[in-house]
């Protein structure tokens, strides 16, 4: 392949001529963290970085000054800690163990301009710069591209738990731009991160607003324009005065309609629905391919997970957008089918409310790890107000509109993240130049 003018072939690919290729061992010294467990954590003491906190983070840096109150603390005598385990401005902390190859490159860059005592802990590898070749902000991004992560995967060893040694991290190669270009790249990617972060905060705000609206509307504390009065369920199913229970609105686990062996149905496993009530994947199969014993449902039914922790986490869905008329799913779902006096999406929003989840979590039965919500608990869930069908439709529409707005923002967020990933890959290989 011909290399265009101003570029050169290297071990990490084609990069600008003035860039260097460096082994991490030429740029950093590596040492282990202080051996301590989460059991030794306390409310007071020195900041402490556990390898689990790196794995659980959805970012690649930590600002000690801004995040001090959120950082776990370890109550130890600081003079007993090796200086190699103390984290200073610009240090990079890698994990030395992961449950999968993807986690082998997990790391955190430390911003600690005020020199707050900060201890790196168990299963961490502390990397300290040997020289001034790196812009601190650039360190946030230079270990993230696929051609760097692939080297971490290559050197990681193990089966159920993979690990990478200090010796092997030292062998990893990265392209190194000039210091000025590093700063420009870090600034551009930091701006992209700021845009993504602002959108994430907006989505979180919208979700909180929706939860508040659900509580107000579903409990009758707030009524929509054109609706008033209080209702209750009569024996003939007509709504008239006040109070009731959720079971007045649905039938549970009904018998299935006849299905031909060649008929296409939808399969939904627990992993196919999200914790915010969305269907992630519709698996379309012929009825002949469906395993026996699965839970039957129909379009417009409501799914509610019955087992811990799926129930507490909000696993469930409204099947008004199901791609087939019939389907099957996990045996750990309850199926709620709306009566003639109710609307399935209105029932669904009740099952998604935090009040519903908290109350029924306390009523779960069974052994640890296998606790389930009894169907009677769902059926007897008390309603402070049972809305008329017309008001149910109006409430469901308001909350559905809020869901649509949140979903549009989530799609925008994913688009921004993909753009940033592409930008990062191009900037860190020199395909796009800022200087």
Helix, strand and coil content of the chain, in percent to the nearest 5, comes to 35, 25, 40
Q: Is the pLDDT of residue 96 over 90?
A: no
Cα(90)–Cα(92) distance, integer angstroms: 6
Which pLDDT value is given to residue 260? 92
Q: What is the mean pLDDT of the chain?
A: 90
Reported as a single tens digit per residue, the pLDDT across 156-198 is 888 778 888 999 999 999 999 999 999 999 999 999 999 999 9
- Among the ranges given (80-84, 271-275, 296-300), the one the predictor scored with the smallest mean pLDDT: 80-84
| Alpha carbon separation from 208 to 90, 98, 202, 215, 318 (Å, rounded) | 36, 33, 10, 11, 20
Element (H, E) at 190: helix 179-218
Q: Which residues of 219-234 are buried (b: 16+ CB within 10 A; e: fewer)?
A: ebeebeeeeeeebebe
Which pLDDT value is given to residue 17? 94
Which pLDDT value is given to residue 232? 53
Given a contact cutoff of 8 angstroms between Cβ atoms, the answer to whether 297 and 327 are in contact is yes
Cα(220)–Cα(321) distance, integer angstroms: 27
* CATH architecture, range 228-386: Alpha-Beta Complex (3.90)
For β-strands 118-120 and 46-49, DSSP reports them as parallel
User: Which CATH number describes the domain made up of 177-222+391-435?
Assistant: 1.10.287.1120
| Alpha carbon separation from 95 to 31, 90, 122, 317 (Å, rounded) | 12, 16, 9, 37
Task: Supply 13's token pair.
Answer: 């690919």
**Nearest 5 degrees, angle CA 348-CA 352-CA 354?**
150
Reported as a single tens digit per residue, the pLDDT across 231-269 is 554 555 554 444 589 999 999 867 788 999 999 999 999
Count other C-beta atoms under 10 Å from residue 41's C-beta: 15
Which pLDDT value is given to residue 241? 42
- For the CA atoms of 426, 427, 428, 429, the dihedral, rounded to the nearest 10 degrees, stands at 50
Which pLDDT value is given to residue 358? 94
Cα(102)–Cα(282) distance, integer angstroms: 27
Mean of pLDDT values over 40-54: 85
Instruction: With cut-offs at 50, 70 and 90, classify the pLDDT of residue 60.
Output: confident
Per-domain residue ranges for the chain?
7-176, 177-222+391-435, 228-386
- Among the ranges given (95-104, 312-321, 375-384), the one the predictor scored with the smallest mean pLDDT: 95-104
Q: Is the pLDDT of residue 22 over 90?
A: yes
> DSSP labels for 348-411?
HHHHHSHHHHHHHHTT-BSSTT--B--HHHHHT-EES----HHHHHHHHHHHHHHHHHHHHHHH
- Among the ranges given (51-55, 165-169, 274-278, 330-334), the one the predictor scored with the smallest mean pLDDT: 51-55
Reported as a single tens digit per residue, the pLDDT across 348-370 is 999 999 999 999 999 999 987 78
Determine the distance from the C-alpha atom of residue 168 to the mean position of all C-alpha atoms in its chain, rounded to a whole number.
30
CB under 8 Å to 397, separation ≥6 — which residues?
Answer: none
Which pLDDT value is given to residue 325? 94
- Among the ranges given (7-11, 99-103, 244-248), the one the predictor scored with the smallest mean pLDDT: 99-103
**Does the domain formed by 7-176 have CATH 3.40.190.10?**
no
Identify the three-state secondary structure at position 189. helix
- Among the ranges given (41-55, 212-226, 303-317), the one the predictor scored with the smallest mean pLDDT: 41-55
> Does this chain's domain 7-176 share its CATH topology with 228-386?
yes
Mean of pLDDT values over 124-146: 91
Side-chain half-sphere exposure of 16, counting CA atoms within 13 A: 16
Cα(163)–Cα(100) distance, integer angstroms: 9
């Amino acid at each position: 392949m011909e290399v265009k003018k101003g570029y050169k072939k290297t071990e990490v690919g084609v990069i600008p001529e003035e860039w260097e290729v460096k082994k991490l061992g030429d740029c950093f010294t590596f040492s282990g963290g202080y051996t301590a467990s989460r059991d030794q954590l306390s409310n007071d003491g020195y900041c402490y970085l556990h390898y689990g906190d790196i794995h659980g983070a959805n970012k690649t840096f930590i600002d000690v000054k801004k995040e001090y109150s959120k950082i776990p603390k370890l109550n130890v005598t600081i003079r007993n800690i090796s200086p190699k385990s103390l984290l200073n401005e610009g240090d990079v902390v890698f994990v030395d163990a992961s449950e999968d190859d993807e986690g082998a490159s997990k790391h955190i860059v430390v911003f600690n301009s005020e020199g707050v005592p900060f201890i790196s802990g168990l299963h961490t590898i502390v990397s300290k710069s040997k020289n001034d070749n790196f812009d601190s902000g650039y360190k946030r991004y230079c270990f993230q591209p696929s051609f760097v992560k692939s080297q971490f995967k290559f050197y990681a060893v193990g089966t159920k738990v993979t690990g990478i040694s200090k010796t092997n991290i030292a062998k990893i190669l990265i392209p190194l731009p000039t210091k000025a270009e590093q700063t420009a790249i870090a600034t551009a990617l930091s701006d992209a991160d700021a845009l993504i972060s602002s959108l994430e905060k907006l989505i979180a705000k919208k979700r909180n607003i929706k939860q508040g609206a659900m509580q107000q509307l579903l409990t009758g504390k707030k009524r929509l324009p054109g609706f008033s009065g209080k209702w209750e369920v009569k024996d003939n199913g007509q709504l008239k005065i006040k109070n009731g229970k959720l079971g007045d609105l649905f039938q549970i686990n009904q018998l299935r309609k006849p299905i031909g062996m060649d008929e296409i149905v939808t399969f939904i496993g627990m992993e196919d629905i999200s914790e915010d009530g969305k269907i992630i994947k519709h698996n379309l199969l012929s009825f002949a391919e469906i395993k026996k014993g699965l839970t039957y449902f129909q379009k417009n039914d409501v799914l509610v997970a019955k087992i811990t922790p799926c129930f507490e986490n909000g696993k469930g869905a409204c099947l008004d957008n199901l791609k087939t008329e019939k389907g099957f799913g996990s045996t750990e779902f309850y199926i709620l089918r709306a009566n003639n006096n109710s609307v399935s999406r209105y029932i669904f929003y009740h099952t998604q409310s935090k009040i519903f989840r908290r109350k029924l979590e306390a009523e779960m039965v069974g052994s640890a790890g296998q606790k389930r919500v009894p169907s009677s608990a769902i059926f007897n869930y008390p309603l402070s107000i049972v809305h008329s069908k017309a008001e149910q439709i109006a409430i469901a529409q308001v909350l559905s509109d809020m869901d649509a707005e949140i979903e549009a923002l989530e799609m925008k967020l994913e688009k921004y993240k993909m753009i940033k990933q592409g930008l990062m890959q191009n900037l860190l290989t020199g395909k796009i130049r800022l200087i």
